Amino acid sequence: MALVKLNDLEIEVEDGTNIVEAARQHGIEVPHYCYHPGLSRPANCRMCLVETFTSPAGSEMPDRQLATGCTTTVRTAPPDRKLDGKYDFIVRTDSPRVKKAREDVLEFLLVHHPLDCPVCDQAGECDLQDYSYRHGHDKSRYLEVKNVPPKKDLGPDVLLYSTRCVVCTRCIRFAQEVSGTGELGLINRGSHDEIDIPRSHEGTPLQLLDNKLAGNVVDICPVGALISKDFLFKSRPWFLEKANSVCTGCSVGCNITVEYKADGVYRIKPRFHEDINQHWICDDGRLGYHYVNSDDRLQLPLKRVENELAPTHWADALSVITEQLSETEADDIVVIGSAQATNEDNYVLQQFAHDVLQTTQLGLFGHPLGEEHKFPQFTIEADKNPNTAGARTILGSANGNVVLEGDALWEKVSGAKIVYLVSGGPERPLEDAEKAALENVDFLIVQDVLQSEATQLADVVLPGTTFVEKDGTITNSTGWVQRIRKTIDPPGEARVDWEITQQLAKQLGGEMNYRFAGEIAIAIAENVSGYADATHQNIGDAGIKLAE
Amino acid sequence: MVEEKRILYEHLDVPDINTFDVFRQYDGYKRFEKAIAEYQPDDIAKMVMDSGLKGRGGAGFSTGLKWSFVPRDIKPCYLCCNADESEPGTFSNRYVLEKNPHLLIEGILICCYAMGIETTYVYIRGEFTLGKRMLDAAIKEAYEKGYLGKDVRGTGLNIDIYTHPGAGAYICGEETGLIESLEGKRGQPRNKPPFPAVEGVFMKPTVVQNVETLCNLPFIVGNGVEWYTKMGPTYADTRNDPPTPDPNTGTKLYCISGDVNEPGVYELELGLTCSELIEVAGGLRGEEVKAVIPGGSSAPILTHYELDTRLDFTSLTLAKSMLGSGGIIVMNETRNIVDCLLNIMKFYAHESCGQCTPCRWGTPWVRDIVQRIADGGGRPDTITRPKFGVTESGRWGDTGETEEIYEDLDLLESVANNIANVDTMTWNTICVFGIAVSWPAVSYMRKFRPEFEAAIREGKLVTLPVAEATVPPEENYAYQQRFIPKEFADL
Ligand SMILES: Cc1cc2nc3c(=O)[nH]c(=O)nc-3n(C[C@H](O)[C@H](O)[C@H](O)COP(=O)(O)O)c2cc1C
Ligand code: SF4
Ligand code: SF4
Ligand code: SF4
Ligand code: FES
């Protein structure tokens, strides 16, 4: 730990921390563009200048220098080299010299900038706008002609508005260091520097920015140069509500922020988690939310009438089900939980099966294994379910419960009279064996969010909710239990999955009365081994890791 | 009359000196053999330190001191010979490469022996196709004769030289830009520290040395330190108590071009004055000297008032200019300084590597302002601003008085100073290319302000008579370019 005098504050800073981070920890902004904590530090934007005072050997006067805050790190000084008798480091981020240097750099940054904020997607969350406002000049001295480099289509989701680029090279470094795909580079030189992908002499792209991490360059671009086509002109960022959540695209469990309005989800952004996803998410997770806003969402319960599925109301759907259930032997009923559903959904489901239906035969359903994608600093897992680990533990948590998966499950299903299948998540086609097994069932209840092959076979379909429409927890492949949060209301009359199950339980005389997901989490904490600390309160935004 | 003192260039014009056999007749490789036979590597390093040899590539940094920063326990260590010679006005290295390449090889061998280096890269300016061909041929010969390769002349030393052509970028002459380019990347200078001496080529300790610097080594070893230090002045640095010696020893390959009768490379002892140099180069072509660029295009300009400045490292630094690469460009009364600055700024705007913000966008901006003034588009508006000069306390600073100045000239000065401040000598850029831009921009404008003013006033380039065009030294704001503005002075 070094004792640092930062402006007029006296702070303790861990050795090796750079000035930008040290200041940030104490609420002081050091403006910066090229520096990103997840990337190497080229110190090329010169925006982060601070004034440092060091004591050169044998000199009384401290040496005052403008230094780049991103590459200047704090070190504990030897006892004879302390400043003012005690400080290891003195740094000012607010001296006249620093302020002038910032103004000057900002002036240069705006020289060729088109000042097209009114039509720029980044406006409102743009470092160039914000820093200019807080640290810049109020007018330009530039009278000459501006460079107008072309707008470029870099790949499936990324557009480059070259005129707005500040050449911080974050995007290039990302593609080199994190994704390792290296599609981006600089062409030309000096003031004609442009970001580009490899092209032939005629200008046809030889390689596109088309990797599963590509979307991150849009996030890290400090200005409106790299823009996501998915979000282009959809909304001003300040109109969006934000909620901290977790991606349900695979078992990594990347931390995300869901940005939404009342009418739906608008975009997904990564949220830092040191042990899980650092600063990044993949494009499957980023762009995979569209099913939530889809027209194919189930909005009303459906009931099979004369071999056709027809909309009905909840009371009717549930009474048809309870009638069937109460007439059937426990051994002939299979309840199948979901690796796409939350721990809370699965807990209520297993409680319903175990306590109310008194069956110990449960199943676990989820998306089939997909492809794993490994990058130098990121892995997308093959298990495309967010909660396989949690669902498996929780479904099997009550005495005597057996959780069947794969072939064993489908064998059991084909001999069952009633199957209550909870699915969820994006569309999940059925394999032939699964389809055959489900076709054999006398009475099939499917609880899902989209019309699917499974709902086509069902006798009753119950509309459930997606990860943005409910609260709950999920457990990733490395044992992190994390929270997802409700952002928007489910469409039509769709309901939170555990509520549907609880309603069924009640109608069959079960004693279950959870009022919100947090209560279920408390029950989980009490009854499921390993989850003792996993209450919503404890989990918070950072998640907790289950003991190994 | 001043005599040339040909040492490096002594045998330059001997027919076939580029071949091993002829070079050998003129002591070729004997100095290297002497080094191995008579001295330990550390002795050579000490001799170089004692000789006071300063780098000839531009920075004028003590070669011995640079070598002393190289950690001896990290291997491999590399030598990079900087043969990128692209500073406008500079053309001395190319003759060594084209005519006497074995001399460079001998210098490299001595450096390698002294520093325990086995691999040398010679980074040659791409346009020097002849130079590269001659050097490659000489290297081939040296391998054949056993002066390069495994177990050089039975000494157990292994020394290899590779030549690498540049691709036409000036910035690849900057030592870390050179290293990046050599490694196959974009030629963009690195942040320092770490300096190449600690982390250079392939992140290993690297000695980067100019061709001319290396060519001095055979003579220091061959003739001894005492002989070498007799050439050129050694000043006393009185900032230290007791004063320390400040050597400007040896000869310099001055490249004299512009308005002289016999432009060319002249090897002279360091320490001659500007006027003497012009005499050596056949005298001025024209009536009057208007200006002299003393050290390549990035050096601040000298006026006719400064012709008695001695052209060595120390004297030019004290004159707030620099010896740089030794490229001297003489301008007579017909030259228009605005036009000259435009020419130079076009070069720098084209050559900025574009890595850091101030230089990437500031340099073309400076060019555009000068272009606009030269085209007659300078704005006639003036502003009033504080005037700098010698203050009552006798120190340099804000005099409390004000001056009227054309807005565009204030803008020109301010933009240039925002890239790298010539007054505080602080820069916000990654490499010193920034100061190479603002030094000429600010010094031309300040020293020849009447000519800039005339261009704005008249709406076209106007070449004034020398006396009228030049700001006299009494107006010392133009000559003194190092002060601490008021607001920065207090802690
Ligand atoms: C913009 C710039 C261009 C340079 N170009 C050259 C060059 O062309 N040749 C050269 O020898 N040194 C050049 N230098 C100086 C080198 O960075 C370095 O100081 C030199 O090669 C060290 O060798 P020396 O100590 O033998 O002079 C340049 C420096 C800068 C900042
Ligand atoms: S496109 Fe964005 S991230 Fe890439 S260099 Fe330009 S400003 Fe930086
Ligand atoms: S890696 Fe998995 S959890 Fe992370 S963003 Fe991609 S799909 Fe979502
Ligand atoms: S100062 Fe200019 S040349 Fe040097 S690194 Fe910066 S942009 Fe490149
Ligand atoms: S953030 Fe430090 S130089 Fe760019």
Is B291 domain-assigned? Answer: yes
Determine whether the interchain pair B356/A71 forms a contact, defined as Cβ–Cβ distance below 8 Å. Answer: no
Average of pLDDT values for B371-380?
Answer: 97
Closest CA to A362 of A411, A428, A409: A409
Is B237 domain-assigned? Answer: no
Q: State residue B280 phi and psi, 5-degree precision.
A: -55, -40
Rounded CA gap, A432 and A453, in Å?
Answer: 11
Q: What is the dotted CATH code of the domain comprising A2-102?
A: 3.10.20.740
Is B209 domain-assigned? Answer: yes
The answer, yes or no, to whether residue A174 has pLDDT greater than 60, is yes
Determine whether the interchain pair B357/A166 forms a contact, defined as Cβ–Cβ distance below 8 Å. Answer: yes
Contact residues on chain B for A190, CB-CB shorter than 8 A: 349-354, 360, 363-364
SS (H, E, C) chain B: CCCCCCCCCCCCCCCCCCCHHHHHHCCCCHHHHHHHHHCCHHHHHHHHHHHCCECCCCCCCEHHHHHHCCCCCCCCCEEEEEECCCCCCCCCHHHHHHHCHHHHHHHHHHHHHHHCCCEEEEEECCCCHHHHHHHHHHHHHHHHCCCCECCHHHCCCCEEEEEEECCCCHHHHCHHHHHHHHCCCCCCCCCCCCCCCCCCHHHCCEEEEEHHHHHHHHHHHHHHHHHHHCCCCEEEECCCCCCEEEECCCEEEEEEEECECCCEEEEEECCCEHHHHHHHCCCECCCCEEEEECCCCCCCCEEHHHCCCECCHHHHHHCCCCCCCCEEEEEECCCCHHHHHHHHHHHHHHHCCCCCHHHHHHHHHHHHHHHHHHCCCCCCCEEEEEEEEECCCCCEEEEEEEEEEEHHHHHHHHHHHHHEECCCCEECCCCCHHHHHHHHHHHHHHHCHHHHHHHHHHCCCCCCCHHHHCCCCCCCCCCCCCCCCHHHHCC
The answer, yes or no, to whether residue B386 has pLDDT greater than 90, is no
What CATH number is attached to the domain comprising B369? Answer: 1.20.1440.230
Q: Does one domain contain both B346 and B323? A: no
ipTM above 0.90, yes or no: yes
pLDDT score for B150: 96
Instruction: Look at residues B308, B332, B356 and tell me which one is the last residue of a structural domain.
Output: B332
Q: Which residues, other chains included, contact A288 with Cβ-Cβ below 8 Å and sequence gap of 6+?
A: A247, A249, A426
Instruction: Confirm or reject contact between A83 and chain B (CB < 8 A).
Output: no
pLDDT score for A429: 93
Q: Which residues span the domain enclosing B52?
A: 20-230
The answer, yes or no, to whether residue B484 has pLDDT greater than 80, is no
Pocket test for ligand 2, best of A168, A188, A218 (most atoms within 8 A of CB): A168
Q: State residue A107 phi and psi, 5-degree precision.
A: -60, -45
Determine whether the interchain pair B360/A141 forms a contact, defined as Cβ–Cβ distance below 8 Å. Answer: no
List Cα–Cα distances, A154 to A36, A214, A215, A218, A221, in angstroms.
22, 10, 11, 11, 14
Ligand 5 closest atom vs CA A44: 3
Say whether A464 sits in a helix, a strand or coil.
Answer: coil
Q: Does one domain contain both B79 and B177? A: yes
In B165-224, the residues whose Cβ lies within 8 Å of chain A are 169, 186, 191
Rounded CA gap, B210 and A368, in Å?
Answer: 64
> Which segment of A173-187, A446-460, B468-482 scores lowest on mean pLDDT?
B468-482
DSSP A328: S
Q: DSSP alpha helices (H): ranges in A178-304?
A: 216-220, 283-287
Q: Does one domain contain both B299 and B284? A: yes
Nearest CA to ligand 1 atom 28: B174
Shortest CA distance from A103: residue in chain B: B418
Closest CA to B433 of B192, B215, B170: B170
Amino acid in position A371 = E
Say whether A205 sits in a helix, a strand or coil.
Answer: strand
| Domain boundaries defined on chain A | 2-102, 115-239, 302-545
Ligand 5 neighbours by CB, cut-off 6 Å = A 32-35, 43-48, 68-70
Residue pair A500/A518 in contact by the 8 Å Cβ criterion? no
Pocket test for ligand 3, best of A179, A213, A250, A375 (most atoms within 8 A of CB): A250
Q: Taking every pair of C-alpha atoms in chain B, what is the biggest distance, in angstroms?
A: 75
pLDDT score for B390: 67
- Please state whether beta strands B327-332 and B251-258 pair in parallel, antiparallel, or not at all (unpaired): parallel
Select from 3.30.420.40, 3.90.1150.10, 3.40.50.740, 3.60.20.10 the CATH code of A302-545.
3.40.50.740
List Cα–Cα distances, A222 to A35, A54, A167, A351, in angstroms.
10, 31, 10, 49
DSSP A73: B
Contact residues on chain B for A5, CB-CB shorter than 8 A: none
Q: Does one domain contain both B223 and B286? A: no
**Which one of B354, B357, B426 has the shortest CB-CB distance to A108?**
B357
The answer, yes or no, to whether residue B344 has pLDDT greater than 60, is yes
> Which segment of A114-118, B389-393, B460-464 scores lowest on mean pLDDT?
B389-393
Is B342 domain-assigned? Answer: yes
Q: State residue B317 phi and psi, 5-degree precision.
A: -65, -40
**Which one of B349, B356, B361 has the shortest CB-CB distance to A111?**
B361
Residue B179 CA, chain-centre distance (Å), reads 18
Amino acid in position A98 = V
Which fold is adopted by the domain A115-239? Alpha-Beta Plaits (3.30.70)
**Look-up: residue for tokens 């989820």?**
A366
Residue pair A109/B361 in contact by the 8 Å Cβ criterion? yes
Amino acid in position B409 = L
Is B383 domain-assigned? Answer: yes
Distant-in-sequence contacts of A523-526, Cβ < 8 A, 24+ apart: A523/A347, A524/A343, A524/A344, A524/A347, A524/A394
Instruction: Look at residues B289, B305, B332 and tell me which one is the last residue of a structural domain.
Output: B332
Residue pair A271/A484 in contact by the 8 Å Cβ criterion? no
Distance between B488 CA and the closest CA of chain A, angstroms:
7
The answer, yes or no, to whether residue B486 has pLDDT greater than 80, is no
Q: State residue A437 phi and psi, 5-degree precision.
A: -65, -45
- Of all residues in chain A, the percent with pLDDT exceeding 90 is 92
The answer, yes or no, to whether residue B391 has pLDDT greater than 80, is no
The answer, yes or no, to whether residue A58 has pLDDT greater than 60, is no
Q: Does one domain contain both B415 and B277? A: no
Instruction: Confirm or reject contact between B353 and chain A (CB < 8 A).
Output: yes
Ligand 1 closest atom vs CA B211: 11
Q: Does one domain contain both B177 and B226? A: yes
**Which one of B349, B357, B369 has the shortest CB-CB distance to A46?**
B357
Rounded CA gap, B298 and B359, in Å?
Answer: 14
Q: Which residues, other chains included, contact A409 with Cβ-Cβ below 8 Å and sequence gap of 6+?
A: A334, A336, A363, A364, A365
Amino acid in position A366 = G
**Which one of B363, B428, B491 has the shortest CB-CB distance to A46?**
B428
pLDDT score for B241: 79
**Strands (E) located in A55-193:** 63-68, 89-92, 151-153, 158-161, 185-187
Q: Does one domain contain both B356 and B477? A: yes
Q: How confident is the model over A454-480, as pLDDT tens digits?
A: 999 999 999 999 999 999 999 999 999
**Look-up: residue for tokens 């050579």?**
B44
Rounded CA gap, A8 and B240, in Å?
Answer: 35
Ligand 2 neighbours by CB, cut-off 6 Å = A 165-171, 195, 221-223, 225-226
As for how many domains chain B has, the answer is: 3
> Which segment of A437-446, B309-318, B421-430 scores lowest on mean pLDDT?
B421-430
Torsion region of A458: left, alpha or beta (phi above 0 gives left; psi -120 to 50 gives alpha):
beta
DSSP A417: S
Average of pLDDT values for B328-339?
Answer: 98
**Cβ–Cβ pairs < 8 A, chains A and B:** 88
Residue pair B209/B216 in contact by the 8 Å Cβ criterion? no
Determine whether the interchain pair B411/A141 forms a contact, defined as Cβ–Cβ distance below 8 Å. Answer: yes
Rounded CA gap, B141 and A477, in Å?
Answer: 65
Instruction: Confirm or reject contact between A71 and chain B (CB < 8 A).
Output: yes
Amino acid in position A43 = A
Shortest CA distance from A90: residue in chain B: B491
Ligand 5 closest atom vs CA A45: 4
Pocket test for ligand 4, best of B188, B365, B438 (most atoms within 8 A of CB): B188
Is B362 domain-assigned? Answer: yes
- How high is the mean pLDDT of chain B? 93
Distance between A170 CA and the closest CA of chain B, angstroms:
12
What CATH number is attached to the domain comprising B255? Answer: 3.10.20.600
Average of pLDDT values for A387-409?
Answer: 94
Is B61 domain-assigned? Answer: yes
Rounded (10°) angle between helices B433-447 and B449-458: 70
The pair of three-digit structure tokens given for residue A240, joined into one six-digit string? 């969006």
In A19-58, the residues whose Cβ lies within 8 Å of chain B are 42-47, 49
Q: Which residues, other chains included, contact A119 with Cβ-Cβ below 8 Å and sequence gap of 6+?
A: none
Q: Does one domain contain both B150 and B211? A: yes
DSSP A163: G
Distance between B292 CA and the closest CA of chain A, angstroms:
28
- Please state whether beta strands B420-421 and B251-258 pair in parallel, antiparallel, or not at all (unpaired): unpaired
> Which segment of B235-244, B433-442, B480-489 scores lowest on mean pLDDT?
B480-489
pLDDT score for B427: 86
pLDDT score for A55: 66
**Which one of B350, B352, B356 has the shortest CB-CB distance to A44?**
B356
Query: Does pTM top 0.90 for this prediction?
Result: yes
pLDDT score for B3: 87
Determine whether the interchain pair A144/B428 forms a contact, defined as Cβ–Cβ distance below 8 Å. Answer: no
> Which segment of A60-64, A475-479, B115-119, B218-222 scores lowest on mean pLDDT?
A60-64
pLDDT score for A231: 97
Q: Does one domain contain both B289 and B391? A: no
Say if residue A407 is exposed, middle or buried (CB neighbours under 10 Å; 0-12, 13-18, 19+): exposed
Closest CA to A227 of A146, A165, A183, A147: A165
Rounded CA gap, B68 and B71, in Å?
Answer: 8
pLDDT score for A20: 97
The answer, yes or no, to whether residue B69 has pLDDT greater than 80, is yes
Q: A267: CA distance to ligand 3 center in Å?
A: 14
Q: How many other C-beta atoms are found inside a 10 Å radius of the C-beta of residue A218?
A: 25
Instruction: Confirm or reject contact between A518 and chain B (CB < 8 A).
Output: no
Determine whether the interchain pair B360/A167 forms a contact, defined as Cβ–Cβ distance below 8 Å. Answer: yes
Determine whether the interchain pair B356/A111 forms a contact, defined as Cβ–Cβ distance below 8 Å. Answer: no
Sheet holding A544-545, edge to edge: A472-475, A480-484, A544-545
Average of pLDDT values for A47-74?
Answer: 82
The answer, yes or no, to whether residue B373 has pLDDT greater than 50, is yes
Instruction: Look at residues B230, B258, B280 and tell me which one is the last residue of a structural domain.
Output: B230
**b/e burial code for range A501-516 (CB count within 10 A of at least 16 → b):** bbbbbbbeebebebee
Shortest CA distance from A141: residue in chain B: B411
Determine whether the interchain pair A46/B429 forms a contact, defined as Cβ–Cβ distance below 8 Å. Answer: yes
DSSP A472-538: EEEE-TTSEEEEE---SPPSTT---HHHHHHHHHHHTT------SHHHHHHHHHHHSTT-TT--HHH
Q: B30: CA distance to ligand 1 center in Å?
A: 29
- Please state whether beta strands A194-196 and A185-187 pair in parallel, antiparallel, or not at all (unpaired): antiparallel
Give the helix/strand (H/E) hosting A335: strand A333-338
Ligand 1 closest atom vs CA B436: 1
Q: A32: CA distance to ligand 5 center in Å?
A: 5
- Please state whether beta strands A418-422 and A443-448 pair in parallel, antiparallel, or not at all (unpaired): parallel
From the CA of B172, the nearest ligand is 1
Shortest CA distance from A105: residue in chain B: B358
**b/e burial code for range B270-288 (CB count within 10 A of at least 16 → b):** bbbbbbbbbebbeebbbee
Q: How confident is the model over A249-292, as pLDDT tens digits?
A: 999 999 999 999 999 999 999 999 999 999 999 999 999 999 99
Q: How many other C-beta atoms are found inside a 10 Å radius of the C-beta of residue A12?
A: 12
Q: How confident is the model over A512-539, as pLDDT tens digits?
A: 999 999 999 999 999 999 999 999 999 9
Q: A36: CA distance to ligand 5 center in Å?
A: 9
Q: Does one domain contain both B214 and B261? A: no
pLDDT score for A245: 98
pLDDT score for B491: 30
Residue pair B128/B94 in contact by the 8 Å Cβ criterion? yes
Q: Does one domain contain both B294 and B359? A: no
Q: Does one domain contain both B342 and B306? A: no
Average of pLDDT values for B422-433?
Answer: 88
Rounded CA gap, B114 and B220, in Å?
Answer: 13
**Which one of B353, B369, B415 has the shortest CB-CB distance to A190?**
B353
Say whether A314 sits in a helix, a strand or coil.
Answer: helix
pLDDT band of B480, cuts 50, 70, 90: low
Determine whether the interchain pair A192/B426 forms a contact, defined as Cβ–Cβ distance below 8 Å. Answer: no
Q: A23: CA distance to ligand 4 center in Å?
A: 27
